[in-house]
Amino acid sequence: MSVTLLETRKKLGGRATSFEDVRTGLVIDNCQHVAMGCCTNYLDLCRRLDALDKIRWQKETYWVEAGGRTSVLRPGLLPAPAHFAWSFIRASFLSTREMHRITKAMCDIVGADRTEFAEITFGTWLERQRQSAAVVRKFWAPIVISACNLDPSEVSASVALHVFQEGFLAHRDAALVGVAAVPLVELYDAAEGALKSAGGELRLGCGVAKVFANHVMTTDGRRFDADAIVCAVPPERATRLAHDSLHSADPRFRQIAGIRHSPILGVHLTFDRPVLPLHSAVLVERDTQWLFRKDEAGARVHAVISAADSWLALTEDEITRRVLEDIHECFPPAREAKLLTSRPVKEKLATYAPTPDVEALRPPTLGPLGRRGVILAGDYVQTGWPATMEGATRSGYMAAAAILDRDPSELLAPSLKPAWLYRLLSPARAATS
């Protein structure tokens, strides 16, 4: 079976890629993407592309408050889900009462069947857990907004619970953070060679005009016939590309038209001296949620604002000023540094918005026509994961399984095995992990 991949852009990677900034000449990422230890399929893809050694791993996350006081969360010697207990107890940005409330909620998360909470928001779930507004701002929101690209008051509780269960509690290595040590586009260098060595063909800069059940028409009038077609584009584009005959025969294309999006803002900053002494930092109760060091010295910094709706109308100067204020508040010595360059990058359609109603619209890989119809792939399909690189990779593996008429479990990499204590505390959840 030969494969022809049609890619509108002149490079691979989709939204998780890089570009050359004409202002600075630097190759910068669209936005900072991170992997986690629980992203077993994305890491399997990196292994297939010989790119695992291009990912830099870190066990610690640094939570920095205004004034510079820093708390470090890292796994300790206890088994999951208690592996963060010691560093959590020592965290200075939370009061003893707040830690107690969070711990109680975490225990309930371990035993929760997340499918039961698909119709409520995580904010509602936290209210039922008597989590104060302050503790939501300081602890729950930074994690949920970064992982789900949506505020706890909007995100489906089932999605947020998934993040904590699979990403933090089930296995001590689940929360390891992996950041590409090279521009994102370089992670896919081996993809074209792998495709060609398997007898396939890659056509970059080849726009698609219309998708039918058994063929594709390109923008320059060419026709590609196929036994199976995988449509791996965002939902709004899939709806536009699908021919009227598909809309009539396959309700998924009408369904996904209702999927909404949430934006992400990345701001690339260059200073005349080091300003970020840490490899990355969570800024506590600041609008700028994360900072990532992009060089060894810490003079190049990438700031990330997820769920960035309120930032989109701002000018580049206004965005830069707000980010600088947050950096100066949390890293006071940075006030002495001179800003050399600033490049905000707005991803208005960065991810689908995993609200309860949108989650209900996520389509299956196969529609009513089966393999004779269009196979959908992308982080928005029913992968069981939020809109992450892991979710996108899973969707690709599931699409391949559909083409080969195999069960997806035969191609998907297994999840990390939950720790014995986690299985003891949540036997029902462990049995389905």
Long-range pairs for 399-407: beta carbons < 8 A, 24 or more residues apart:
399/230, 399/232, 399/365, 399/375, 402/228, 402/365, 402/366, 402/371, 402/375, 403/1, 403/228, 403/230, 403/371, 403/375, 405/371
Residues 432, 418: Cα–Cα separation, whole Å: 10
Residue with tokens 């077993």: 40
Task: Give the mean model confidence (pLDDT) for residues 340-357.
Answer: 95
For residues 224 and 27, the answer to whether their CB atoms sit within 8 Å is no
> Beta strands 261-271 and 290-293: pairing type?
unpaired
pLDDT at 120 > cutoff 80: yes
Q: What is the pLDDT of residue 433?
A: 45
Q: Is the pLDDT of residue 1 over 90?
A: no
Domain boundaries, the chain: 76-172
Mean pLDDT of all residues in 49-57:
96
Average pLDDT value for the chain:
95
221/364 Cα distance (integer angstroms): 30
**123, 152 Cβ separation under 8 angstroms:** yes
Residue 429: pLDDT band with limits 50, 70, 90: low
Give the up-direction half-sphere exposure of residue 365: CA atoms within 13 A in the CB hemisphere.
25
The residue with tokens 């890989």 is 365
Q: What is the pLDDT of residues 78-90, one digit of tens each?
A: 999 999 999 999 9
Cα 279 to the center of its chain, rounded Å: 19
* The pLDDT of residue 23 is above 90: no
* pLDDT given for residue 432 in this prediction: 45
3-state secondary structure of 240: helix
Write down the pLDDT at residue 428. 57
Closest C-alpha among 100, 173, 229 to residue 419:
173
CATH number, span 76-172: 1.10.405.10
Tell me the per-residue pLDDT of 153-196, one tens digit each, with 9 for 90 and over.
Answer: 999 999 999 999 999 999 999 999 999 999 999 999 899 999 99
Handedness of CA 14, 18, 19, 21 (dihedral sign): positive
The strands making up 61-64's β-sheet, listed across from edge to edge, are 70-73, 61-64, 280-283, 290-293, 300-306, 261-271, 339-352
Q: Residue 29 is encoded by which pair of tokens?
A: 């990422």
| Segment 91-110, tens digit of pLDDT | 999 999 999 999 999 999 99
Predicted local confidence at residue 30, as pLDDT: 85
For the segment 224-268, what is each residue's pLDDT rounded down to a tens digit? 999 999 999 999 999 999 999 999 999 999 999 999 999 999 999
Query: What pLDDT is recorded for position 431?
Result: 41
- The fraction of the chain above a pLDDT of 70, given in percent, is 98
Q: How far is CA 431 from CA 78, 163, 169, 243, in A?
A: 22, 18, 15, 42
pLDDT of residue 7: 95
Most confident among 9-18, 186-195, 320-329 (mean pLDDT): 320-329
Calpha distance 2→17 (Å, rounded): 26
Q: What is the pLDDT of residue 31?
A: 85
CA-based nearest residue to 409, from 380, 377, 384: 384
What pLDDT is attached to residue 397?
98
Which tens digit of pLDDT belongs to each residue from 280-319? 999 999 999 999 999 999 999 999 999 999 999 999 999 9
pLDDT band at 427 (very low <50, low <70, confident <90, very high): low
